[in-house]
Amino acid sequence: MQVQAAVVYANNVYYEVMNNRNASQVATAFGPQLAQANRYEAQTLLGQHRYWRMSLIGPLGYGPITRLGPDTVSVMVTKQERAIEYTDAGEQVADKSETVTLVDTLQRVDGHWLVVAVT
């Protein structure tokens, strides 16, 4: 259950990056490489004067958790989400709803699960 909670938390942090260009919590949800990628995404959106309004349409779905090592697991995650992109001036640029299936790899660091890869 801790793994699923970590996936939900990481998804919420990702939405915070995309919706508010706020990367302040990425190190608490993601491993170093993904945290840096999310920081870069927030800066890119700021530089382009754009942001998203992303939200889940339904709950996250989970496949079985596969143990890859003593502190590493992977889990298939399916989500239905809506994503609307805006400019800072309020102009809508894109609007899409989609179902996405990803495989999240998580690693336990100091007793906490972090998402270290998403494929």
Q: What is the pLDDT of residues 98-110, one digit of tens each?
A: 999 999 999 999 9
Tell me if 56 sits within 8 A of 80, measured CB to CB.
Answer: yes
- Residue holding tokens 């239905």? 80
Strand segments (E) across 11-109: 50-56, 61-69, 72-87, 92-109
pLDDT at 35: 98
Question: What is the pLDDT, as a whole number, of residue 70?
Answer: 96
Q: How far apart are CA 103 and CA 91, in angstroms?
A: 33
pLDDT at 105: 98
- What fold does the segment set 2-118 form as a domain? Nuclear Transport Factor 2; Chain: A, (3.10.450)
Instruction: Summarize pLDDT for 44-85 with one digit per residue, the tens.
Output: 999 999 999 999 999 999 999 999 999 999 999 999 999 999
Per-domain residue ranges for the chain? 2-118
Query: Which pLDDT band holds residue 118 (cuts at 50, 70, 90)?
Result: very high
pTM for the model: 0.95
Assigned token pair, 53:
């309004």
d(CA 87, CA 80): 23
- How confident is the model at residue 32, as a pLDDT? 98
φ and ψ at residue 16, rounded to 5 degrees: -65, -40
Nearest to 39 by CA among 54, 50, 24, 53: 24
Determine the average pLDDT of the residues in 6-27. 98
pLDDT band at 97 (very low <50, low <70, confident <90, very high): very high
